[in-house]
Structures are given as C-alpha cells and as structure tokens.
Amino acid sequence: MVHFSYMFISIASALFAFLSFSINVQEQWLSYDGSKDKEDTFHIVLISGDEEYRSEESLPMLAKILSKQHGFKCTVL
C-alpha cells in the first residue's frame, strides 16, 4: 500500500511537470503589480479550482483589490 502511494505521487508529479511545461504561462496566469517599492511587496498567489463558487470570477477581482488598495503583488492561477 505504501509503495502504491509513492508510485502514484511520482506519476502525478511527473504528469504535472510535463503539462506545466507544455502550457503557455502568459495565457493561464493573471498578474497585478502592487506598490512601486518592489523590495517590501508581498507576493500573493491565488489558486482557482472550484466551479461551484465561481472562484474563476471572484479571485481576479480580489487580486485587483489587494493590488490597488493594499499594494500587494498578486497572481491568479
């Protein structure tokens, strides 16, 4: 049972690595730059993955609010 889980994790990670290199990054990610001072800016990554709560629509709005009003650099996946 333990060997099966290690094998599953290794296959899943290899598949993820293969797919991540084949997808054009600029078309999939949305980024908002925060404040002008790049050294003190936190980078927040928001991951959308559920269709039920429409996070693909709400997370870009949240990223824009965090960027404009609070100065964070935000990336939506």
Listed by start position, the domains of the chain span 25-77
The pTM (predicted TM-score) of the whole model is 0.59
State how far the Cα of 51 lies from the Cα of 45, in Å rounded to an integer.
Answer: 18
Q: Rounded to an integer, what distance in angstroms lies between the CA atom of residue 47 and that of residue 41? A: 19
Ordered mean pLDDT values, 10 residues apiece, the chain (77 residues): 65 64 62 77 86 85 91 90
**pLDDT for residue 17:** 61
Please spell the DSSP secondary structure of 13-74, one letter per residue: HHHHHHHHHHS-HHHH-EEE---S-SSS--EEEE----TTTTHHHHHHHHHHHHHHHH--EE
Q: Which of 41, 38, 32 is nearest to 60 (CA)?
A: 32
The SS3 of residue 77 is coil
